[in-house]
Amino acid sequence: MVGALAATLTSSACSRSTGVVTAPAVVPTRSVAPAPSVPSARRVAPALTRSTPVRLRIPQIGVDSALMRLGLLADGSLQVPPSGFPAGWYTGGPTPGQLGPAVIAGHVDWRGPGVFLRLHELKPGALIVVNRADGSQPTFRVSRVATFPKDRFPTASVYGNLDHAGLRLITCGGSFDSRTGHYRDNIVVFGDLTASTS
Protein backbone atom coordinates (compact mmCIF):
# COMPACT_ATOMS: atom_id res chain seq x y z
CA MET A 1 0.00 0.00 0.00
CA VAL A 2 1.18 3.52 -0.72
CA GLY A 3 3.14 4.69 2.28
CA ALA A 4 2.89 1.25 3.92
CA LEU A 5 0.69 2.73 6.64
CA ALA A 6 0.41 0.43 9.61
CA ALA A 7 -2.38 1.42 11.95
CA THR A 8 -5.22 0.47 14.22
CA LEU A 9 -8.06 2.55 15.51
CA THR A 10 -7.05 3.95 18.86
CA SER A 11 -9.15 4.11 21.95
CA SER A 12 -10.18 7.69 21.30
CA ALA A 13 -11.67 6.64 17.99
CA CYS A 14 -13.80 4.00 19.63
CA SER A 15 -15.25 5.53 22.74
CA ARG A 16 -18.84 6.26 23.57
CA SER A 17 -18.42 10.00 23.55
CA THR A 18 -20.47 11.89 26.07
CA GLY A 19 -18.27 14.91 26.65
CA VAL A 20 -16.33 17.24 24.43
CA VAL A 21 -15.81 15.79 20.97
CA THR A 22 -12.14 15.46 20.12
CA ALA A 23 -10.85 14.31 16.78
CA PRO A 24 -10.21 10.57 17.12
CA ALA A 25 -7.10 9.14 15.52
CA VAL A 26 -5.64 6.01 14.04
CA VAL A 27 -2.11 5.69 15.35
CA PRO A 28 0.63 3.71 13.62
CA THR A 29 1.48 0.61 15.64
CA ARG A 30 4.85 0.14 13.99
CA SER A 31 6.53 0.78 10.68
CA VAL A 32 6.52 -2.20 8.36
CA ALA A 33 7.95 -2.86 4.96
CA PRO A 34 5.38 -3.51 2.26
CA ALA A 35 4.29 -7.13 2.32
CA PRO A 36 4.73 -9.20 -0.83
CA SER A 37 1.64 -9.07 -3.02
CA VAL A 38 -1.02 -11.44 -1.77
CA PRO A 39 -2.46 -13.36 -4.71
CA SER A 40 -6.21 -13.67 -4.81
CA ALA A 41 -7.87 -17.05 -5.21
CA ARG A 42 -11.20 -15.36 -5.91
CA ARG A 43 -12.56 -14.06 -9.21
CA VAL A 44 -11.87 -10.37 -9.22
CA ALA A 45 -12.48 -7.59 -11.73
CA PRO A 46 -9.64 -5.60 -13.30
CA ALA A 47 -8.47 -2.65 -11.23
CA LEU A 48 -9.62 0.87 -12.11
CA THR A 49 -7.74 4.14 -12.38
CA ARG A 50 -7.68 6.57 -9.44
CA SER A 51 -10.89 8.49 -8.72
CA THR A 52 -12.14 10.06 -5.51
CA PRO A 53 -14.77 7.97 -3.68
CA VAL A 54 -17.81 10.04 -2.71
CA ARG A 55 -20.33 7.55 -1.30
CA LEU A 56 -20.41 4.13 0.37
CA ARG A 57 -23.40 1.79 0.21
CA ILE A 58 -23.79 -1.54 2.00
CA PRO A 59 -27.40 -2.63 1.38
CA GLN A 60 -27.24 -5.69 3.66
CA ILE A 61 -26.75 -3.52 6.76
CA GLY A 62 -28.46 -0.31 5.65
CA VAL A 63 -25.33 1.83 5.18
CA ASP A 64 -25.59 4.76 2.75
CA SER A 65 -22.97 7.31 3.67
CA ALA A 66 -21.10 10.17 2.09
CA LEU A 67 -17.32 9.79 2.39
CA MET A 68 -14.95 12.35 3.79
CA ARG A 69 -11.22 12.53 3.15
CA LEU A 70 -8.92 11.24 5.88
CA GLY A 71 -5.29 12.25 5.89
CA LEU A 72 -2.50 12.10 8.42
CA LEU A 73 -2.24 14.29 11.50
CA ALA A 74 0.98 16.08 12.46
CA ASP A 75 2.02 13.16 14.69
CA GLY A 76 1.73 10.72 11.77
CA SER A 77 -1.54 9.17 12.95
CA LEU A 78 -4.43 8.70 10.56
CA GLN A 79 -7.23 11.20 10.90
CA VAL A 80 -10.64 9.55 11.30
CA PRO A 81 -14.12 11.05 11.15
CA PRO A 82 -14.77 13.47 14.03
CA SER A 83 -18.26 12.08 14.67
CA GLY A 84 -20.45 9.03 14.05
CA PHE A 85 -21.19 10.02 10.45
CA PRO A 86 -19.91 9.98 7.73
CA ALA A 87 -17.32 7.29 7.07
CA GLY A 88 -14.01 8.37 5.59
CA TRP A 89 -11.39 7.04 3.20
CA TYR A 90 -7.62 7.23 3.62
CA THR A 91 -6.29 9.54 0.89
CA GLY A 92 -2.72 8.27 1.15
CA GLY A 93 -3.63 4.82 -0.18
CA PRO A 94 -5.42 3.49 -3.23
CA THR A 95 -8.92 4.75 -3.93
CA PRO A 96 -11.59 2.03 -3.92
CA GLY A 97 -11.28 0.16 -7.21
CA GLN A 98 -7.58 0.93 -7.65
CA LEU A 99 -4.93 -1.77 -7.34
CA GLY A 100 -4.25 -2.46 -3.67
CA PRO A 101 -6.17 -2.23 -0.39
CA ALA A 102 -8.34 0.89 -0.16
CA VAL A 103 -9.16 1.73 3.47
CA ILE A 104 -12.42 3.19 4.79
CA ALA A 105 -12.83 3.86 8.51
CA GLY A 106 -15.93 4.71 10.51
CA HIS A 107 -17.31 4.66 14.01
CA VAL A 108 -19.47 1.95 15.54
CA ASP A 109 -21.00 4.63 17.79
CA TRP A 110 -20.42 8.23 18.79
CA ARG A 111 -23.07 9.87 21.01
CA GLY A 112 -25.44 7.33 19.48
CA PRO A 113 -25.20 4.84 16.61
CA GLY A 114 -22.32 5.33 14.17
CA VAL A 115 -22.13 4.63 10.47
CA PHE A 116 -20.58 1.18 11.07
CA LEU A 117 -22.85 0.13 13.96
CA ARG A 118 -23.86 -3.05 12.12
CA LEU A 119 -20.56 -3.78 10.35
CA HIS A 120 -20.08 -6.93 12.44
CA GLU A 121 -23.24 -8.38 10.86
CA LEU A 122 -21.72 -8.60 7.37
CA LYS A 123 -21.08 -12.09 6.01
CA PRO A 124 -18.87 -13.32 3.17
CA GLY A 125 -20.67 -12.74 -0.11
CA ALA A 126 -22.27 -9.43 0.91
CA LEU A 127 -21.85 -6.59 -1.59
CA ILE A 128 -20.35 -3.16 -0.97
CA VAL A 129 -20.75 -0.39 -3.57
CA VAL A 130 -18.63 2.74 -3.75
CA ASN A 131 -19.67 5.72 -5.88
CA ARG A 132 -16.70 7.60 -7.32
CA ALA A 133 -16.28 11.11 -8.71
CA ASP A 134 -15.73 9.80 -12.25
CA GLY A 135 -19.21 8.20 -12.20
CA SER A 136 -17.96 4.63 -11.79
CA GLN A 137 -19.42 2.35 -9.13
CA PRO A 138 -17.02 -0.41 -8.15
CA THR A 139 -18.68 -3.29 -6.33
CA PHE A 140 -16.79 -5.34 -3.78
CA ARG A 141 -17.73 -8.77 -2.46
CA VAL A 142 -16.97 -9.43 1.20
CA SER A 143 -14.48 -12.27 1.54
CA ARG A 144 -13.94 -12.14 5.29
CA VAL A 145 -15.11 -10.39 8.45
CA ALA A 146 -12.85 -10.67 11.47
CA THR A 147 -12.41 -9.25 14.96
CA PHE A 148 -8.91 -8.57 16.26
CA PRO A 149 -7.71 -7.44 19.69
CA LYS A 150 -6.22 -3.99 19.24
CA ASP A 151 -2.82 -5.18 20.42
CA ARG A 152 -2.79 -7.92 17.75
CA PHE A 153 -4.01 -5.92 14.75
CA PRO A 154 -3.06 -7.74 11.47
CA THR A 155 -1.20 -4.86 9.85
CA ALA A 156 0.20 -6.84 6.91
CA SER A 157 -3.19 -8.41 6.06
CA VAL A 158 -4.99 -5.07 6.16
CA TYR A 159 -2.43 -2.74 4.59
CA GLY A 160 -0.14 -5.12 2.63
CA ASN A 161 0.16 -5.08 -1.15
CA LEU A 162 -2.41 -6.97 -3.24
CA ASP A 163 -2.43 -8.17 -6.84
CA HIS A 164 -5.99 -6.89 -7.24
CA ALA A 165 -8.28 -4.11 -6.04
CA GLY A 166 -9.32 -4.72 -2.45
CA LEU A 167 -11.32 -2.88 0.18
CA ARG A 168 -10.89 -2.77 3.96
CA LEU A 169 -13.59 -1.39 6.25
CA ILE A 170 -12.44 -0.78 9.81
CA THR A 171 -14.31 0.05 12.99
CA CYS A 172 -14.21 -0.79 16.68
CA GLY A 173 -15.97 -3.72 18.23
CA GLY A 174 -15.87 -6.50 20.75
CA SER A 175 -16.66 -5.77 24.35
CA PHE A 176 -16.81 -2.25 25.71
CA ASP A 177 -14.45 -1.54 28.59
CA SER A 178 -16.41 0.76 30.90
CA ARG A 179 -13.27 1.38 32.96
CA THR A 180 -11.40 2.96 30.02
CA GLY A 181 -14.47 4.01 28.03
CA HIS A 182 -13.26 2.24 24.88
CA TYR A 183 -13.84 -0.90 22.83
CA ARG A 184 -11.23 -3.63 23.14
CA ASP A 185 -11.16 -4.83 19.51
CA ASN A 186 -11.23 -3.79 15.88
CA ILE A 187 -13.59 -5.26 13.31
CA VAL A 188 -12.16 -5.50 9.80
CA VAL A 189 -14.15 -6.35 6.68
CA PHE A 190 -12.07 -7.59 3.76
CA GLY A 191 -13.49 -7.27 0.24
CA ASP A 192 -12.43 -7.80 -3.37
CA LEU A 193 -13.51 -5.88 -6.48
CA THR A 194 -15.97 -8.01 -8.45
CA ALA A 195 -17.50 -5.54 -10.90
CA SER A 196 -17.67 -1.90 -11.90
CA THR A 197 -20.35 0.09 -13.68
CA SER A 198 -20.28 3.60 -15.12
Q: Which amino acid is at 153?
A: F
Residue 114: C-alpha distances to residues 55, 84, 87, 102, 191 (Å): 16, 4, 9, 21, 21
| CATH label of the domain that carries residue 36 | 2.40.260.10
Per the structure, the count of domains in the chain is 1
pLDDT in tens, 32-68: 344 444 444 557 899 999 999 999 999 999 999 999 9
| CA pair distance 83, 12, nearest whole angstrom | 11
pLDDT of residue 77: 66
pTM of the prediction?
0.82
pLDDT of residue 198: 75
Residues spanned by the domain of 32: 2-197
pLDDT of residue 55: 98
pLDDT of residue 14: 58
Which are the contacts of 42, defined by CB distance < 8 A and separation ≥ 6? 141, 143, 192
Residue stretches of the chain with pLDDT short of 70: 1-42, 76-78
